[in-house]
Structure 1
Amino acid sequence: MPSCPSLGVMLRLAHQHFSSAVVEALDEAGFGDIRPHHANVFTFVPTEGIQMSELTLKAGVRKQSMAQALEELEKLGYIERQPHPSDKRARLIFLTPRGKKIRPLAMAAGRQVEEKWRRLLGESQIEALREALQILLGVLQDGAGRT
């Protein structure tokens, strides 16, 4: 009897499918230098800018991973760092005009993946998945899911 893959493996594989489709769409739009780990930046940088420490928390990644992604994106011209207006020691991260083009393209590609999954599984299955993940993430973010 074949064993069922763990939930973690299934989530990782679904995420890989999703992020590969987004990266492919970005590549087709002329942004072939974007990699899946860069989503940790584009997803969470607000218009008013953000400090790296807060960005790291929102993305749920290690400081070293975020620092590497930011360095890469700065060299590629997608982000810029500016002095914090009220804290001389801190710097804020902003998307450049080039960087601001990524989010709408990535979101459109993500919607296409969701539509494909919706056609494959049906509306009720996708909505059940979305609801279950929202509940789980809400509990985990509230800290109630910590052991």
Structure 2
Amino acid sequence: MPDSSSSAPRSIGVLLRLAHQQFSSAVDGALAEQGFGDIRPHHANVFTFVPPEGIQVSDLTLKAGVRKQTMAQAVEELEALGYVERRPHPTDRRARLVMLTERGKQIRPLAMAIGQSVEDDWGKRLGQPRLEALRATLEQILDVSEDR
């Protein structure tokens, strides 16, 4: 991988990873300041996709695009921390639903507000048209990837 002094451009994958790390770091730091310092970046895969009626781990796995083992571990960690609980599925005795606890329900709106603040900062530094062009391009990339 070229260093920052190299004239070769960094790959899009590296740039996306670094931008994601910057975004996640800002969200994690602000969550910690609000008393949620035990939340880790991979926990976002759970908070982002749990609907009010709950969801099975297998469905969470599909929505987040991660391996079942990865999702199960994140759910277990969040359950131990008191952010989620597993309840019996109302129509399938074999299944269990992941539900946000009252503490868990506090995370999504807070994380969304923090994320919006990061985007607002990026918009000020880049200019809102460039940020919106980036968003549109990323949406197109994801749409194309989902068609495969």
Is TM > 0.5 for Structure 1 vs Structure 2? yes
Identity %: 67
What displacement does 1:140 show? 1.3
Q: Name the aligned partner's letter for residue 134 of structure 2.
A: L
2-structure distance, mates of 1:106, 1:96: 16
Tell me what 1:104 maps to: 109
Q: Distance in 1 between matches of 2:99 and 2:141?
A: 30
User: Does 2:63 match 1:52?
Assistant: no
Count of residue pairs brought into register by the alignment: 143
* Corresponding residue of 2:147: 142
Corresponding residue for residue 24 of structure 1: 29
Provide the C-alpha distance between the structure 1 equivalents of 2:128 and 2:37, rounded to a whole number of angstroms: 32
For residues 28 and 131 of structure 1, the distance between their equivalents in structure 2, rounded to whole angstroms, comes to: 32
Q: Root-mean-square deviation (CA), in Å?
A: 0.8
Q: CA deviation at 1:86?
A: 0.9
CA distance in 2, matches of 1:142, 1:73: 32
Deviation string 1:20-50 (CA, Å, 9 cap, x unpaired) is 1001111000011000000000000000100
Q: Please state whether the residue corresponding to 1:81 is helix, strand or coil.
A: strand
Determine the structure 1 residue equivalent to 2:3.
none
How far is 1:124 from its partner?
1.1
- Partners of 1:28 and 1:141 in 2: CA distance: 36
- Correspondence for 1:89: 94
Superposed displacement of residue 71, structure 1: 0.6
Kept in 2: contact 1:25–1:105 (CA 8 A):
no
- Distance in 1, matches of 2:46 and 2:64, equals 8
Letter in 1 for 2:83: Y
Deviation for aligned residue 1:135? 1.1
Structure 1 gap ranges (5+): none
Q: How does 1:2-81 map to 2 (within 5 A)?
A: 2-81=7-86
What residue is the counterpart of 2:131 in the other structure?
A: 126
Q: Does 1:117 align with 2:117?
A: no
